[in-house]
Every structure is written in C-alpha cells, then in structure tokens.
Amino acid sequence: MGKSAISRRRFLQLMGLSAASGALAACAGATPAQAPAATSAPAATPNIAATEAVLAAQATEAAIAMQARAEEEIFKMTAEQYAAMVEQNVAKALQEGKTVIEMLSAYGTIIEDKTQPHFWILRNFMQKHPEIYVRYSPSSAYTGAFNEVIMMRIASGDPPDCILHYSAPIAYAARGTCRPLDDLMDVHPVGNKDAWEKSALAQLQWNGKTWGVPLNGSQNAMFYNVEVLEARGISTKREDLPKTLDELLELSQALTEWDGDTLKVAGYTPFEGNWSWPGKMVANGGIIWDGEKYTINHEKNVELVEYWISWIDKLYKGDIDLLRAQGTMNNTYPEGAFGLGIQVVCDDGLWSLTHVPPERKYEVSVMPTGPSGTRHATSNWPNMMFIPTGAKHVKEAFELCVYYGTEGQIEWWHRWSDVPYWKDFPADVAPQDLIARVGEAKALELTRFAREYASEIVVQWNSPVEDFATDEIYRAVDSALHKQQSAKAALDAAQEIVSAKLQEVITGA
C-alpha cells in the first residue's frame, strides 16, 4: 500500500481536531503542578524550532491515524450504508460549491471487493483537487451487460462524465457517442500523448483521433511451472526457456501424460484464450486487424490455425472437447489447470502474477514466435477511461482520467498487477502482493520485465466492430479446431462477414 497523501487543507482540518482532542485529554487527566524548587541557575532557553518540528510530526501522525480509523469504518459498512454515505457526501459537496462529477465503472465498489484500488485512487485525487467530488457508480448498480448500461445512460440524455472500462471506446466513437480527447491532450502538461507507452495509446486511436486515456493492461505472457520443470532437469532461467512454438511443441510432447482418457500432465495449449490470438497471429507473420481493415484470412493466420490443429492431433488425441473436459487450460488461477498443477506450461495475462496460487512457483517469459514468425508479439487486455458525448464536466472529467492513468496507477499497481503504461511510473515500485509471494528482488525483476514487454503489444481493440469481430473470429477458429471445416474456409467466411459489418458501421457513421 502506498503512503497516504494528505492535502494541506485536510491536514489543517485534522490538526484542528487532533489539537482539540489533545486539549480535552489534557484537561481530563490533569494533576496539580508541583511548585518548582528554588534555584539560582538561569532558566534554559527553549529550542523553539525543535519543539515545533516535534509538534508538527505528532500532529501529522495523529492526522494519519485519524484518517486510517475513518477509512477502517468505511470498509466495515454494508453496501446500503456505503451508498447512503456517498449521497450525503454529494449533497455536502454541492453545498460547498464543489463540482460533482460521475465516474461510471465496469468494476464494483470497495464493499463488494476490498482488494480493488478505486477507493484509494479517488480519495487521493479529491485531496489533490478539493474543488471536485467524484461520485463513483459501479456496474453492479445496474442490471444487464456494462455496454448496454453505457448506451442506456447516453441515450437517456444523462451520460456520466467519464467511464472506466476494460474495452476500448471505438465502437462508441464510430456512433458519435464518445468525445475525442486530442484537444485536451494537446494542452495538458501531464496528460499529453507522450505520457503513455505508444503501443498502449494506439489501442485508443482510430480514424486519426484519440478517444480515451490508457491506464494499464496485462500483456499475454508464458507461465512455466518451475518445480515440475526443475524436477525433470529442465532449466527455468528465462533466457533458456522456449522462444518458438516448435520448441514449445517439443517440450510439451515430453511433458504430456495420459492415463486412458484422463490427462495427468498437460503441456502447452497455444490455441486457447481467443483474446490472445491477435498477438499470436502477428508472431507468425500474419495479422487480424491493422487499425483500418481486417485480414482475418491472411495466409499466415490460416497456417497458424492449421498448426494448432496438428498440435491437438499430436498431444491431445485429436479431440479438443476431450482436452477441455480435463479442466480450464491456459488458466493460472487456483481453479485453472495450471493453478491445479495439471498444466505445466500455459499463457495468460500478466494480471496472473498475483493470482497464481501462492504455493505454485512459476517463471514468465515472452510469447513464442510462430513457425513462420520473425518477431515476438503479444496481445494486451487493457483498462482505459473515456468521456462520452454530452458529458457535463469535460475539463474535470479529463483531469480524473489523467490522474487515473498517471499517479493513480501507483495505488492500482499495489493492489492489482495490471501493468501501468505511464512512462514516468516509478521504476522501483512492485505490487505489495507480488512482493509477499516472491520477495522484493524477484517482484522488481518481474515488474521490469512486464513494463519492458509493453513494446511488443500489437494493434488490437480499436475496431468499431470489435465485439462483433471477436465473436465471429472465435466461431470460425473453433469450427476449424473441431474439424467441422478447414481453417481456410472458416477464416474466409469470417473475413467476409466481419468486413461487411465494418463497412456497414463506418458508412452509417
């Protein structure tokens, strides 16, 4: 957890409270003073500077302790109590002449998930900007899918001032319901386009404009079970781990063990996790989306899907349903095959650095190149913020977006291991949970790896028909993996359907 930042205004308020409580305590516990003994020595001159420094330090400690107690009480609230407190705070803020802005979030409240960082980020932002109060509206306050909630709010004429999402706003931009931010970025001293990694910002750019602020994300990376590999005499130094799919196939063949139709030990499953496919296609010399057009049926994409089918034949009895019946592959969580110790090698988002079961020792590495690939590449699952058309407080909302994407990432990184994309993020800060799991030295090394790996992120998420295309591509590849049609036929069909949909949306825009 990061150190609490207290604004000068808040510090003075708390100092006043501390002084008052201190005076009351002194009165309650006072004892009669003893008469001083007679002495001929001159009275000592008080060290006024030292005394003031001590008093200031004591006041600061008291202020921090008081704030911590207040926050502890908040975390004990029920959802109803917390909601009532927010309404009281909003009313008070309006009475004080503050600007109240609403942030609609894809995530829940601290009452629902006490690990999440939003309470702390918003607290620090409001201390830095005492003229602004942020109403945090979680997705759980609504029924239905989050994108439907956003469209409902915009259509009602009462949009939030900004939106926190794990999906890019380009679909809204194409429909005229998202505000471009270029004019704000061009004049902001901190939140300009040079503030974030270029590859991360690109995921929010379309049609020559920038539609959101990147916060963080999780690149896709390889996870290796250290204990199993070392027990077999295989080096787990990152520089010795496989760098190509062919090398991973060889390793997986050596690892995979069946007992009849029961998979005892699983190797790698490169075809699972469709969010990771754009990076895997680029790593084979292909591409799905280049920021303007789709090439789903690129010859190198077809080649890679055919390679995946042969992988299933060689390692998993040619039956993807039999494989999937063994557990959730490419999942490092406790309930996943890697978390359970069944799968020795998998890929997953770097968010899993702090979600792998603590007893499972792992190493991470870059995604492999494909059989025709010449470069490493990775997909990325981002978090970002954007401002809908019709927002009432654009300037204040943009300040919040910028804070979330810069200083606010320190609180986020302490709690969730989504990789920050702010270039000036401190190099010596690792998530506290990760430090507890692997030690500070290893946690800092993994942090450096994660941040340097951001340069390999491919173009993804910034299509006006992102969700539609993702569904169609998944259906096509899944059909090929089930051998219902050839890889080429499946990807050809998806290319035709998705390209037509893209043209329809662009023309309509």
Average pLDDT, the chain: 88
- Which residue is associated with the tokens 């900007």? 129
The larger pLDDT score, comparing residue 357 to residue 20, is at 357
Phi-psi region of 505 (alpha: psi -120 to 50; beta: other; left: phi over 0): alpha
Q: Which two tokens stand for residue 137?
A: 């509206």
State how far the Cα of 246 lies from the Cα of 371, in Å rounded to an integer: 7
398-435: pLDDT as tens digits = 999 999 999 999 999 988 889 999 999 998 999 988 99
Confidence of residue 196 (pLDDT cuts 50, 70, 90): very high
430-464: pLDDT as tens digits = 998 899 999 999 999 999 999 999 999 999 999 99
pLDDT at 258 over 60: yes
CA-nearest of 401, 400, 375, 397 to 457 is: 375
Q: What is the DSSP code (8-state) at residue 216? A: E
Phi-psi region of 406 (alpha: psi -120 to 50; beta: other; left: phi over 0): alpha
**111 Cβ contact list (under 8 Å, min separation 6):** 77, 78, 79, 82
Q: What is the DSSP code (8-state) at residue 232? A: T
**349 Cβ contact list (under 8 Å, min separation 6):** 218, 219, 220, 221, 381
State how far the Cα of 264 lies from the Cα of 255, in Å rounded to an integer: 10
Name which of 3-17, 175-189, 238-252, 291-305 the model is least confident about: 3-17
267-320: pLDDT as tens digits = 999 999 999 999 999 999 999 999 999 999 999 999 999 999 999 999 999 999
Give the pLDDT mean for 128-146: 90
Domain layout of the chain by residue ranges: 77-218+381-456
pLDDT at 363 over 80: yes
What CATH number does the domain located at 77-218+381-456 have? 3.40.190.10
pLDDT at 15 over 60: no
**pTM: predicted TM-score of the whole model, two decimal places:** 0.84
25-49: pLDDT as tens digits = 323 333 333 333 333 334 444 455 5
Confidence of residue 61 (pLDDT cuts 50, 70, 90): low
pLDDT at 265 over 80: yes
pLDDT at 201 over 80: yes
> 293 and 498 in contact (C-beta within 8 Å)?
no
